[in-house]
Amino acid sequence: MHADPPSSPLALAARRHADDVIKPQVREWERDALFPREAALAAAADGLLGLFAPGTVGGQGASLAEAMDVFEELGRGDAAYAFALSMHNAVANAISRSGQPELRERYGPGLVSGELLGGFSLTEPHAGSDAAAITTQAVAVDDGWRVTGRKAWVSLAGEADVFVLVCRTGSERGTADVLMLAVDARAEGVRVERLYDKAAAAFLPIGEVSYTEVHVPSHALIAPPGQGMRAALGAIDVARVDIAAISVGLAAEALAIALDYARDRKAFGGTLLDLQAIQFALADVETDVVAGRMLYRFCPDAALRASIACSEVLGAYGLLHEYPLARFLAHAKMLQVVDGTTEVQRIVIARDLARR
Ligand SMILES: Cc1cc2nc3c(=O)[nH]c(=O)nc-3n(C[C@H](O)[C@H](O)[C@H](O)COP(=O)(O)OP(=O)(O)OC[C@H]3O[C@@H](n4cnc5c(N)ncnc54)[C@H](O)[C@@H]3O)c2cc1C
């Protein structure tokens, strides 16, 4: 069930991608634990891999509002897949807008066409919310940088062709020496050390990647020392809004499934939907979906509430794989953390309020 028609050609393409590509195949992807590169190529053909990238590299140059409609539609298909596309778009955007001409030409068109995939790499095993504690080192050499360190929770580890890497030149915590580089995943010294065995999204590889004396050419500098953390947090700000839209999509899809089920399921001489307790539960989810769409802020929390309420409407059947609600539950929990936790987002908003 789709409540509203998509608001733009890109959102329509995303809805088609969710209905025709993601939903019919996602359980197979999950079972095979393989990232669906062909699906990503199909997404690229519809413009979904170069959402923010400029027309010069074949991108859509979409506004944030247009991209949010796209991510809500993708979130209805599968939140983990939508998240992978969000991270990829962050990389395509950073390289094709802030990269030097040689870097833009080298990776921009491939990232937009889906021939190449991108991963964003800030988090380290000891540094998550506390990003200023990262220690991955970039030492300046004649023709570029030599990078050594270890990154954690790298989305598309082993699948991405290029990483946007946040690292530093010194050894003190803080942001004054933090820079951002593009590193080719096939460069000598780049190694996937481990892939996490996660509660959900088996097809989305996420893991730890080590860098040992990796040579990175000068033209791969995206943000110089002192500007790297600002650039990284700017990318994360956009990604957090993507996550909010994906969460609204997840909640809206959970509601659609529970509503269809409650309308058909016979109980106590009528249907489940005749029961006021079920009507109230679904009305609360609809309120969260509509409020979330307007607010796009704490949507992962709303998505988690929606997945719990909607899977309860199906009773025992909510636990079966033939409905995706149990998977949605795990995804909603994941969405609370992926681009910085909901708690830390509250801190960011409070800081902004204090500055006004
Ligand atoms: C599925 C998934 C994909 C990811 N993909 C990427 C990726 O592609 N690239 C990347 O760089 N990272 C990625 N991450 C990492 C993600 O950004 C971090 O997990 C996140 O920033 C939180 O860090 P942490 O897990 O180390 O938790 P911690 O920072 O250790 O936090 C632990 C708990 O303490 C709370 N907390 C921490 N600091 C404060 C505070 N000051 N006040 C109140 N509470 C606080 C947090 O909210 C959390 O509940 C991904 C994570 C997940 C789950």
pLDDT in tens, 23-36: 999 999 999 999 99
Amino acid at 144: G
Confirm or reject: Cβ of 245 under 6 Å from ligand 1. Answer: no
Reported residue count of the chain is 356
User: What secondary structure does DSSP assign to 175-206, as a single string?
Assistant: STTEEEEEEETTSTTEEEEEE---SS-TTS-E
> Ligand 1 center to residue 212 CA distance, Å?
24
Residue 11: which pLDDT band, with cuts at 50, 70 and 90?
Answer: very high
131, pLDDT greater than 60:
yes
**Residue 129 CA: which ligand 1 atom is closest?**
29
Confirm or reject: Cβ of 329 under 6 Å from ligand 1. Answer: no
Partners of 165 in beta bridges: 121, 181
What is the distance between the alpha carbons of residues 87 and 185, in angstroms, rounded to a whole number? 16
HEC assignment per residue over 38-58 = HHHHHHHHCCCCCCCCCHHHC
> Ligand 1 center to residue 340 CA distance, Å?
5
| Nearest CA-CA partner of 248 in 284, 201, 295 | 295
Handedness of CA 217, 223, 227, 230 (dihedral sign): negative
pLDDT of res. 252: 95
Structural contact between residues 134 and 201, judged by C-beta atoms closer than 8 angstroms: no
What is the DSSP-derived secondary structure letter of residue 315? G
Confirm or reject: Cβ of 337 under 6 Å from ligand 1. Answer: yes
Three-class secondary structure of residue 292 per DSSP: helix
Q: What is the pLDDT of residues 160-199, one digit of tens each?
A: 999 999 999 999 999 999 999 999 999 999 999 999 999 8
**Mean pLDDT of the region 304-317:** 91
Q: In b/e form, how buried is each residue of 82-120, taking b as 16+ CB within 10 angstroms? A: bbbbbbbbbbbbbbbbbbbeebbebbbbbbbebebbbbb
- Which of 85, 86, 153, 327 most suits a substitution to test ligand 1, by most atoms within 8 Å of the C-beta? 153
∠ CA 10-59-164, rounded to 5°: 115
